[in-house]
Structure 1
Amino acid sequence: MTRAGSRRTLLSLVAVMLAVLTSLGISPGTGTPIAGAEPTGSGSGQTSGPKFLKLSLDSVTPTAITSNSDPYFVVSGTVTNIGDRPVDDVSVRIQRGGPVTSPSALRTTLRQDQASYDITGEFQDVADQLTAGQRKQFSVSVALHSGTELPGGVSSLDITAPGVYPLLLNVNGQPAYGGQARLDDARFLLPVLGVPGSADPKHGPGQPTPPAVDGPPVATTLLWPLADRPRLVAGQPGAPDAQALLTDDDLAASLAQGGRLDQLLSALESVVKPDSTRDRSLINAVCLAIDPDLLITVSDMTRDYRVLASPSDPEGPTRPGSGGRAAKAWLERLRALAPGMCVTALPFAQVDPNALAAAGDVTLADRALNAPADLIDSLLTVKSVRGVAIPDAGTIDTEGATLFAHHGFTTTVLADNAVAPLDGRSNLLAAKTPPSTPPATPATPGSTPEPGTPDMVTLADVVVPPATGTTTQPAPAAPHAATFDSWAATALAAIGSNPPTPAFTPDKARYDVTVDSRAARLQDALGAVAWTALNPQPGRPRTALLVPPQQWGANRDEASAVLGQLDLQLRNNLATPRSLTELLAQQPDPQPYTLDYLDRAADDAVPAHFAEPVHQQGQRITQLMSALVDVPQQELSPRAFLTPLRDDLIRVLSLTDRRAGGGAADTNAQRRLDQTTKTMDNLYGSVTVLPPGGVYTLASEQSPLLLVARNDLPVAIRVRFKIDAPAETSITDIGEQQLPAKGNRSFQIPTEVSDSRNLTIPIGLSTPDGVPLGNAVSVSVRSNAYGQVLAIMTASACALLLLLVGRRLWHRFRGQSDPADEEFDAGAVRESKQDRRTRKRDKKRQEAR
């Protein structure tokens, strides 16, 4: 047999084997049955099997259906070949399941098997073939319900009543070496506020079905968060005309056109601006919730600021920031917007109230909780809503709730599953629904009504003692909790890029939402927002508090869609606006409730080991603050100088980035703590006594000790000298003294030394409360006095002199010569005569010459 013939025979055998494998549904080389391929969508919950196609939802038009809508809606998407082989005969179809009948089903229905979506449309071709890496966009027109005849290519979902419906897009295809199979799906919710007329073009439009809901419209309040992660570098005290230093310049991009914060503000501007076509109803339902740390940072950015070249190196090189113009424009827009609507302050830097309570620093807690309202009012020229605390996690423990109550907060905004009836059961069903009243919305077979939580409850287990600390006054009333819909909040959190899963989301409803497209997640949120309005439930109030996450990732279109959904509900009489002030004024439910601190929140909380060092540094700041002096002509006040360091300690206890997992949040917190500690060490070391150098010699035993104290702080400070005087010295305490900012001052310390030896005297400075400042110095002192020895010698010499003088006077008064003078006088006379004769002889000789 020739070589060519052998080759043809081999190829024939290979072809036969491929045919057999294909008929069995087995992929050559892998041994994997194509028929067992699982979709990559989130709903299946499957990750095994080969992946060939990825189906992504791009848009739903319109996002919600009303009785005035067209009888059709359009679903657009993209199919991408993510495998390693071509896929033929790619087609899609729309399917739906039954309407959502319970709040939890808003989440769990999106994980059901595709068989639960039993109302199916017709398959529509997308592409004859998609090669590896190729993608194809498509649009599917869908009729809500069918008339006598539907146009070609239009499927009907048989939706005849308002509700929130789960929909599924199913993509089929035939991968190479395999058979036709379902390869992926995408799930989403469609809110139907009203059903439009018939879709049959021959018989004309039928009668639309408006929303028909038993009970009043849902009183709705929407918080609109504006917050960001902490950006200011730690350890930078206040200084006149100082440049702010940021860890990175990401905030500049967020504030600029197209950035996250720009788009959130822009969406709100479209509602609040005077040229808006909407009335005030929607505006009255929305309240801005602003993080003061964000406003402080943006305000600092309006002036020249700098950015670390490496965020992990706080002491490394820096570069100029680029967001000054964007920060100024964004802040001006916010200042123009805020006075026309409700505004409230979030806790500073998304601080963890439980960790703040554990730190045990009252002044630090006041800055984190009470100061934000004043900061917001000052920077935006508004009067914010007071007395309400909005913790980032949506759940707190008893210590955190007590901390809020101690600082004057009468209401805390919590997830509805973060509280529980005090006696372990809910009496809402009996209290709000008479036994003879049937449920407004029939439950599906096998479903049971879920217990509801009142929108305002009393936290009976939070005991607040009287402010005076005495028992003669009655304790204040127990604080309240305003509860928000945890299911709607979970869906709102999933909007945008890098969506978090909140701590209050139950485990049964947790899954990786990033496998869904942004459009699908937006639809889920809109469905969750509409569900309460469309489904009155026994035991659940006709109210809704909607709370997106504080660092919400929605873009302008997504945020506008949420506002548009709420506006649709208001205009269709399904909702009515309720301001935050009205919510806080509500009477709580008579049933007492207790806090139920959620396990997930405890896992995401700030670790306990940060509490003690934060407390220590907070105390050091307070002690230094009490020593500083506010001088009128001084450029910088003590508060302005040290408050940035308090803010750094609050940022150490921030919940930012903790839900993302990993150790980045702990690393950033420790870095902030280290920088703040180092700065405090430097500040305390900036006030000290200058060493005199050499030995200090006193002119006498009571000469003053001359000392010079130095203050390198930009504010004046009160100090005391701390001198450990040895036993041989007596040094007078000159009391409290003041050192000028950035200056020296000389002091004379009255000193008495009773020893002529060299003495070593330790001298230091402290605050008036005794906290040491700077480093103590040792001064060597020597006195020129001789002390007791000198006094004895002087006294002895004086006594001898007096004795000799007295002896001479005694002899003179008696007319006697002093015996001591006799020999002296005779000799002196002889010497005098001889001297005169010698002088006369010398004179005569000179004259003779």
Structure 2
Amino acid sequence: MRRVIAVGLGVLCLSTPAHAAPTPYDPENAAQWVNPMARASESGDLSVDVTQVQAGESTRVHLSVENSGADSASVTLQTRRGEATWDVAGARRALALGPEAYPWAGPEVELELAAGERTEVTLDLSPEFLPAGTYPLMFSVGENTERLLLTVAGEPDPDTQTPGLTMLLPLTAPLDIAPGETGEAPEEAPLILQSEELAGQLAPEGRLSELLDTYARDTRGTCLAVDPALVDTVARMSRGYTVAESRPSLITTRQRLRDSWFQNEDPHRGTPGRGTADAAAWLERLRGAGCIVPLPWATADLNAVARTEDEWLFREATQRGTEVIREELALEPLTNVVIPPSGYVTEQAAPSLGWADQSLPVEQAWEMSAATRAPRSTGEEDSALESTVIPDRSGSPAPLRPVRVLVADNSVWGVPRSGTHAHLAPGVTATTFSAPLGSLLAATGPAPQTTGYSNPDWRFDYQLDSVTSRAVTAASALRLAVAEQTLPGHWAQAPEPVLAVPAPLLDAATARTLLNTVSGLYDSGAARPVSLAEAVTAPELDPVGPPAVGVTRFGSPWSDPAAVSDTEVLRAAQQTRYTDDLTRMMVNDPVINLRRYDFTLPLRRDVLMALSGASRSSLSLNQEAVEATNRRLDANRQTLQDLRGSVALFPPGNVYTRASESSPLLIVAGNGLPLPVDAELAYSGPEGAVLSAHGPVHIPAHGSITVQLTADLPEDEDQSQLQLWLATRDGSPISTPVEITVQTRAGIVGTYGIALLLVVGLSLALLFRVGRHRRRQRP
């Protein structure tokens, strides 16, 4: 019988780094990342890595053994395997168990290693040790082990039904666009990147370029899951970009001539990017793709986006991608399919998925919503940037066409289901994939990821095993998931399609292994290719009503260590709500070739980038990802504060003296934005104080206007302390409040009376002294 190893073409060779040092993480949630009882005894200076696996009459495994200690060591390299496993969940569990779960002994090799020495070892695993089946394997030296899952398959059974198989190939990358960008016209805003990291991935030998090479070899049953933010950024790179640590300030301030004598009039603005040609070539190759489905913008965590309760942020996360792919690639993507990076959606997020399918473009929907927004009291002094309360604005209209969302099968349990489909909300249906398979596919590459829907009992630091071992494990798990569909009694009718959803930051070497495995399954007749559109087509399901109080019906069944914190969500909500307020205050001008929504759109995209879930779920990248989130939110807030300061009130002085009660108050309103502003003048003051500007304040773009205020102030007070600020027409505060003191008429009379009495008193005293002095001199 011809034996086939599960790594696809039969040979797998990946560069294998040494075992990574322990990664620092928050001790309070350490158990959410790593079960302290799973592989807890592994330690020491000796390590073993799998570097290559070859198929043949026997399975040949190449290993690298290293002694990183200061002394030489005599070691025994042992090979052991566990019992054959018939389901992916059992296979994942076996990888986290102790050595007692590997009772079958294989070949051993005695080694002498000097201090710091690394040696290569080749082992042949005979059919007697590895018969047909899927087995957990363990190679050990000292206390450390190397684990992998290996499938040795025979000829497929012709009497079994052939399951369908759909493979997603994610195209994502971290985007380091300098924060603080705003829209410009008639030309687009210049692209400023903080490094050339993305250019390196687009180069011919880069990760993104190799992923396209791998996809082009066999597109059967495979669809590219593309981050539209990546497409947008690469398209802008192809038109030229700059590399700089930060972007110039949005606000230009006037300065005196002498203040600029010792300043550089032409400060360094960065260097031209070197990846323009590679970006254009990569984009042209992507235009030839057969199947494309957009991911959320910047792989944003949709559950976190939903928690901000901001409709427009969620629209940008789920609705904008289709438009960008059509414009930049001239392709029609698969629409109404949402792929959350976390692998699950919460009950709070599910209804918002209706925003993924709307008939109107986002900008047009915005204008209609702003025109019908109801006014409210302008008594609020805190703007959205300072408010610590997130208003409950949840809910979205039912989609016009069904929206399908891809989630793990263990994340839906209390809603109507049929096979791999579940009904989550009106018009929103979930298509599920195997949770154990998704977890093993995610735990690959140089930065393995921990899925939030995985059982915490079987979580461990996946970097204990080499990149090669984890790639072989993922390929074997994929084969096992297909074979699992053909087990007797598994399905009463035809087997359901297997949906393979790797993590967003899939590395090129693992992608080759997985796609080679998929091609081998198709060629051997063990599986048939199924398009993504067919896989997500759901039957009619019963509607689901609102949940009972305190009852959860779907979401992650376990703790998610990579979930965005409440503090980060609050900051994102503050910034998006203030961005909405700022946008509503501006007015579209037909003379100015810039729309108000387009001006603030990059600010919303900055927030989505801050909420990206791609790197957060990796134990080795989590801390860096959290710090990047904080940096971007800090920079975005600073930009909003600069914009806030450009729309301001300028009182004539700290104390304003009125000649009479009918005298108006004069105050200057300035606008540094590129669009006009329509605002209400809001105030707070003593009881009974009434100020009126006789209509909204219209401030021209990059201009100012003097506003006359009619003031009715309490007469029994000498002075009135007032706070004034600009607000949107519906009452949302925008500008920073200014304080003025108004001297009332009663105060003026009282002050003048006291002054007059003082003058009279001083005059009488002076006259008295002069008269007495003369009387003394008269004799």
Q: Is the partner of 1:605 in helix, strand or coil? A: coil
Kept in 1, the 8 Å contact 2:169–2:511? The answer is: no
Task: For 1:592 and 1:706, locate their aligned partners in 2 and report how far apart those are by CA, in whole Å.
Answer: 59
1:115-142 deviation line (CA, Å, top 9, x unaligned): 66566555567x6x32121122132344
Which SS does the other structure have where 2:617 is aligned?
A: helix
Aligned partner of 2:499 in structure 1 is: 545
Give the Cα separation in 2 of the matches to 1:386 and 1:768.
36
Q: Is the contact between residue 764 and residue 777 of structure 1 (CA under 8 Å) also seen in structure 2?
A: no
Could you report, residue by residue, the CA deviation over 1:555-586 in whole angstroms, capped at 9, with x for unpaired residues? 3x321121110000001111111111112223
Q: Which residue of 1 aligns with 2:483?
A: 534
Residue type at the aligned position of 1:157: F
* Mapped partners of 1:186, 1:92: distance in 2: 11
Q: Write the mapping of 1:27-426 to structure 2, written as runs, cut at 5 A.
A: 48=41, 51=44, 53-62=46-55, 70-88=56-74, 95-111=80-96, 121-123=106-108, 129-144=112-127, 157=129, 159=131, 161=132, 163-169=133-139, 185-194=145-154, 210-212=155-157, 214-229=159-174, 231-240=176-185, 242-246=189-193, 248-269=195-216, 271=217, 282-302=218-238, 303-308=240-245, 324-326=273-275, 329-330=278-279, 332-405=281-354, 406=396, 408=399, 410-420=403-413
Q: Distance in 1 between matches of 2:696 and 2:114?
A: 85
| Amino acid aligned to 2:594 | L
Task: Give the SS at the match of 1:251.
Answer: helix
Which of residues 571, 575, 578 is equivalent to 2:527?
Answer: 575
Structure 1 CA distance for aligned equivalents of residues 43 and 734 of structure 2? 69
TM-superposed CA distance for 1:374, in Å, is: 1.9
| Distance in 2, Cα, partners of 1:222 & 1:708 | 62
* Aligned counterparts of 1:213 and 1:283: Cα–Cα separation in 2: 25
1:489-514 deviations in Å (ceiling 9; x for gaps): 22221221021221222133222221
Aligned residues: 627
- Return the alpha-carbon distance in structure 2 between the equivalents of residues 524 and 301 of structure 1: 37
1:716-731 equivalences in 2 (<5 Å): 716-719=676-679
**Structure 2 residue 718 is the aligned partner of structure 1 residue 769:** no
Distance 1:628-1:91 versus aligned 2 partners, 3 A rule: same
In structure 2, stretches of 5+ residues that fail to align are: 1-34, 248-263, 355-395, 546-551, 746-779
| Contact 1:187–1:520, Cα closer than 8 Å, also in 2 | yes
State whether residues 237 and 645 of structure 1, in contact with CA within 8 Å, keep that contact through their aligned partners in structure 2: yes
The structural deviation recorded for 1:531 is: 0.8
Residues 1:253 and 1:768: Cα distance change in structure 2 (over 3 Å): same
CA distance in structure 2 between the aligned counterparts of 1:80 and 1:761, rounded to whole angstroms: 76
Question: CA shift at 1:708, angstroms?
Answer: 5.9
Q: Is the 8 A contact 2:169 2:225 kept in 1?
A: yes
Q: In the alignment, which residue of structure 2 is the partner of 1:608?
A: 566
Deviation at 1:683, TM superposition (A): 1.9
The DSSP-based 3-state class of the residue aligned with 2:49 is: strand
Give the Cα–Cα distance (whole angstroms) in 2 for the partners of residues 158 and 670 of structure 1: 50
Q: 2:582 matched to which residue of 1? A: 624
CA distance in 2, matches of 1:759, 1:420: 66
Q: Is the 8 A contact 1:253 1:323 kept in 2?
A: no
Cα distance between partner residues in 2 of 1:185 and 1:733? 76
Which of residues 542, 553, 563 in structure 1 aligns to 2:515? Answer: 563
1:814-829 equivalent positions in 2, closer than 5 A: none
2:201 is matched by which residue type in structure 1? S
In structure 2, how many angstroms separate the alpha carbons of the residues matched to 1:113 and 1:259? 38
Q: Could you list the runs of 5+ residues in structure 1 that have no partner in the other structure? A: 1-41, 63-69, 145-155, 172-181, 195-209, 272-281, 311-316, 427-452, 463-475, 784-849
Counterpart of 1:598 in 2: which secondary structure? Answer: coil
RMSD across aligned positions (CA) = 4.5
2:87 partner amino acid? S
What's the CA shift for 1:766?
4.5
| Distance apart, 1:695 and its partner CA | 11
CA distance in structure 1 between the aligned counterparts of 2:42 and 2:721, rounded to whole angstroms: 82
CA distance in structure 2 between the aligned counterparts of 1:759 and 1:52, rounded to whole angstroms = 78
Secondary structure in 1 matching 2:115: coil
Q: Residues 387, 157 of structure 1: CA spacing in aligned structure 2 closer, same or farther, 3 A cutoff?
A: same
Change (3 A) 1:166 1:687: closer
Using the alignment, how far apart are the partners of 2:130 and 2:629 within structure 1? 55
Residues 672 and 703 in structure 2, CA contact (< 8 A), matched pair in contact too: yes
1:647 matched to 2:632? The reply is no
Question: How much has 1:110 moved relative to structure 2?
Answer: 3.1
Give me the whole-angstrom Cα distance separating, in 2, the residues matched to 1:694 and 1:513: 64
| % same residue | 27
- List per-residue Cα deviations over 1:349-376 (Å, max 9, x = no partner): 3333333333222222212222222223
Q: Normalized against structure 2, the TM-score is what?
A: 0.69
AA of the residue aligned to 1:504: Y
Q: CA deviation at 1:643?
A: 1.0
In structure 2, the CA distance between the partners of 1:781 and 1:309, relative to structure 1 (3 Å rule), is: closer
Query: Which structure 2 residues correspond to residues 653-692 of structure 1 after superposition, within 5 A?
Result: 653-660=611-618, 665-689=625-649
Q: Partners of 1:598 and 1:520 in 2: how far apart?
A: 28
Conserved? CA contact 1:456–1:588, under 8 Å: no
In 1, the alpha carbon distance for the partners of 2:530 and 2:540 equals: 16
Q: Secondary structure at the match of 1:190?
A: strand
Q: Structure 1 length as normaliser, TM-score? A: 0.64
Deviation at 1:521, TM superposition (A): 1.0
Structure 1's 422 and 57: CA in aligned 2 closer, same or farther, altered over 3 A?
same
Partner Cα separation in structure 2 for residue 711 and residue 631 of structure 1: 15
For 1:263, the aligned partner's letter is E
C-alpha spacing 1:543/1:356, structure 2 compared with 1 (3 Å): same
Alignment of 1:408-807 (within 5 A): 408=399, 410-420=403-413, 454-459=419-424, 462=425, 476=426, 479-535=428-484, 536-537=486-487, 538-539=489-490, 541-552=495-506, 554-555=507-508, 557-587=509-539, 595-598=553-556, 600-660=558-618, 665-689=625-649, 709-719=669-679, 735-736=695-696, 738-744=698-704, 765-771=726-732, 774=735
Larger mean CA deviation between 354-363 and 608-617 belongs to 608-617
Q: Residue 231 of structure 1: CA displacement?
A: 2.6
Deviates more, 1:222-231 or 1:664-673: 664-673
Structure-2 residue corresponding to 1:432 = none
SS at match of 1:308: coil
Instruction: Tell me, yes or no, if the aligned pair for 2:235 and 2:279 is still in contact at 8 Å.
Output: no
Q: Give distance in 1, aligned partners of 2:636 and 2:70.
A: 54
Relative to 1, partners in 2 of residues 1:509 and 1:732: Cα closer, same or farther, differing over 3 Å? Answer: closer
